[in-house]
A and B are shown apart, each in its own frame.
Chain A
Amino acid sequence: MKVVALATAALLLTAACTPGSDNPGGAASAPSTVKTDAAALGDVSLTVWDQEVRGGQAAQMAELNKQFQAKYPNIKLKRVSRSFDDLKTTLRLALSGNDAPDVVQANNGRSDMGEFVKAGQLVPLDKWADAYNWKSRYPASVLQYSRYSPDGKTFGEGDLYGMPQVGEVVGIYYNKTKLTALGLEPPKTWADFENALGKAKAAGELPMQLGNLDKWPAIHVFGTVQDKHVPAQQITTLAFGRPGASWKTTENTQAAETLVSWVDKGYFNPGFNGQGYDPAWQDFGKGKGVFLIAGTWLQADLQKALGDKVGFLLPPGASADEKPVVTGGTGLPFAVTNKAKNPDAAAAYINFITSSDAMKVLASTGNLPIADASSQQAPAGLAGDIFSAFGTAVSKEGLVPYLDYATPTMYDTIGAALQDLLAKKATPQQFVDKLEADYSKFAGK
């Protein structure tokens, strides 16, 4: 009884304050004038939270920070770096605290950047974007990943809230030795590609590696197929969760049917829904499988495993010269918080680490720079393939967003729906119905 009484007392004590009452929200306003001469800003201390902790990421950040510090000794950088997961879970609290950092790397998605924008915790950067000419530095298809309406509800359009440094794109890794043995060239058209899958199967090779135990890997495979069936504009609208499109179209159903037909024809390794993502690409690295649909983030590992026996290409179109449509995105964008003591200094920092000189540093430290990728001194082999593939995708504005960006729940919905589809627990029709339900519930609001 006492426990109950105490719990009630505790409840009454806390009932007085509504959660979040210390943060009324509302959009942060943009400044009317901006200063771009960082050296003339006086003594400023700038706290930056980033997640560039691994290998080449850490190296580029350290190098760029050193250069920035040397160029602007009046701005004192205080760097706090955490792993992606740590950053994701602590940023929410940090931004609502009084001692918030000035510049943060925030995940693009609705549940991160979208929520922060809604709460007015990030400053729109458009004034600086004009002053520094960021809009010609990065193409619109790249900047859209950091755009939100001021109420945080519309993703992909509206004000600019961040600037990313690196890019990523989902393409097709192929085993050169095996293709040659099959008497095939790297596919130039989508028909070539499907033909190669069939040839590989007939020759007793595993056509494609897939490890879908973690639920999300099939999103990239489906996205790649969908890009060939559905107009890019529709995919973008669906993937940003904006009203005006529908999952229940013949094209989307066809994409799902194609994927199921790949399962029927035995193009994937048996038991793929029970195979982990890492073991799957590691198997590809050991020479099992002719193709692997995966992102550029596997470049370093696959190059190490297969050396010059592995190549990378953008998913080919109906004809060889068709404009590419490819699932891709940006690294985590750097944003300025509303608690930044000197937003001009924060913007100057972001400008510095995304400049064309910075892109060179990124390339030389083994990262995939988001701008000017094709013109960088790319290393030979797989990295060269990836630099030129990404450069093409960006310069031709061919990027379409990840499908799970659409709604806060879409990652789970589409992950589970694809497992169901591939295991034939759901028909292509049921699959698109399920996605439509999630999408329209959100976009219809």
Chain B
Amino acid sequence: MSSPPGEPRKIGYLYILPALLVYGAFLLYPLGRAVHLSLFEWNGITLGKFVGLSNYADVVADAGLRAAFGHALVLIVFYSVLPVVIGLALASVLQRARVRGLGFFRTVVFLPQVVAMVVVAVSWRHIYAPDGPLNDVLRAVGLDSVARGWLGDYTFALPAVGVIGTWFETGLVTVLLLAGMARIPKERYEAARLDGAGAFAEFFAVVLPAVRGEIAVAVTLTVIAALRTFDLVYVTTSGGPGTSTSVPSYEVYHRAFELGQVGSAAAIGVCLTVLIFVITLGVNRLADRGTA
């Protein structure tokens, strides 16, 4: 008598074992190690000192770090909310208009994603410079009073960094949404139109519900990108002017590699991981509830 297929059930673990080993070695072990290190005061060289949760207490108590987490949350608006709004608009236009050369436009919109972030940052640093192209344009149209050293301005540095993020992420979001919209059956549009829906009603009744899943994916990816921003800030402002664009990932790098406070850096990293995990979990719960 042979057992039914898939029995014994436990054999399943054998199948996932190779992947699990890789996952464990390169993800779970480093994560566990980071949590472990975060409980020590350690300079990376000499014997560490066990300090329990005091690194975490410091993270909460440090006003500068709290501000850094605040900046990361502001960046979510620029990295995630704006790209999704712009992406929805762009994608529905591209989808509806059946423009000639759709492939070309899709490529152009997606292009920022292909360029390395450091290159992006260096270019935008040039654009934002006091005598850079942005200010040249402003002066050319008579807005001299608006022209400024954008990345050195206390009010505008963080939004200026954020706009780079918007520019960078919009392409990804648009292409994701385009793919989602392409799968909507024509019959639904037809039904909506027969019911007398205009372009806007059609968008809210047909398109938006259909791409809910894609929006969830886009939001998840971009929120993660916003919270772990490092290279962009590192290259454009180094957290300045003052500390007005400091972000948690920058602090992780700074403490671990420049100050030699490995434990504290690990604690910030763990907090950031938890924050990202909670937010993405929330986003996906929301999206799932809608489709169920």
Contact = CB atoms under 8 A, between A and B. Distances in A.
Contacts of A215: 238-240
B47 to A, nearest CB: 5
A271 B36 contact: no
Interface residues of chain A: helix, strand, loop or mixed (majority): helix
A57 to B, nearest CB: 23
Contacts of A11: 32, 35-36
Contacts of B117: none
B27 to A, nearest CB: 10
A270 interface: yes
A279 interface: yes
Contacts of B262: 19
B260 A96 contact: no
Looking at chain B, what size class is its interface with the partner chain? 35 or more
B73 interface: no
A8 B128 CA distance: 47
B130 A270 contact: yes
A273 B241 contact: yes
Contact of B36 (A14, A23, A89, A269): A14
Looking at chain A, what size class is its interface with the partner chain? 35 or more
A273 B152 contact: yes
B259 A272 contact: no
Contacts of A7: 28, 31-32, 35
A97 B240 CA distance: 36
B153 interface: yes
Interface in B152-170: 152-154, 157
Nearest to A112: B260
Interface in B229-259: 237-243, 254, 257-259
A274 B242 contact: no
Given A7-B28, A10-B33, A215-B238, A274 B45 contact: no
A272 B154 contact: no
Interface string B119-159: 00000011011100000000000000000111111100100
Given A18-B40, A119-B46, A213 B237 contact: yes
B242 to A, nearest CB: 5
Given A15-B36, A115-B260, A20 B42 contact: yes
Nearest to A421: B242
Interface centre among A21, A92, A274 (most CB of B within 10 A): A274
Interface in A37-82: none
B50 interface: yes
Contacts of A96: 45
B42 A10 contact: no
A191 B106 CA distance: 62
A274 B150 contact: yes
Nearest to A16: B36
A271 B150 CA distance: 8
Interface centre among B33, B36, B154, B239 (most CB of A within 10 A): B36
Given A11-B36, A21-B48, A213-B240, 6 more contacts: A10-B31, A96-B45, A271-B152, A274-B130, A416-B239, A425-B242
Enumerate the 4 nearest inter-chain pairs by beta-carbon distance, A residue then B residue, closest first: A274-B149, A274-B152, A271-B149, A273-B152
Interface of A: 3, 6-11, 13-15, 18-21, 23-25, 88-89, 92, 95-96, 111, 115-116, 118-119, 121, 212-215, 269-276, 279, 408-409, 411-412, 415-417, 419-420, 423, 425
14 contacts: A11-B35, A20-B42, A20-B43, A20-B46, A212-B152, A213-B237, A269-B130, A273-B153, A274-B152, A408-B260, A415-B238, A419-B152, A419-B242, A423-B154
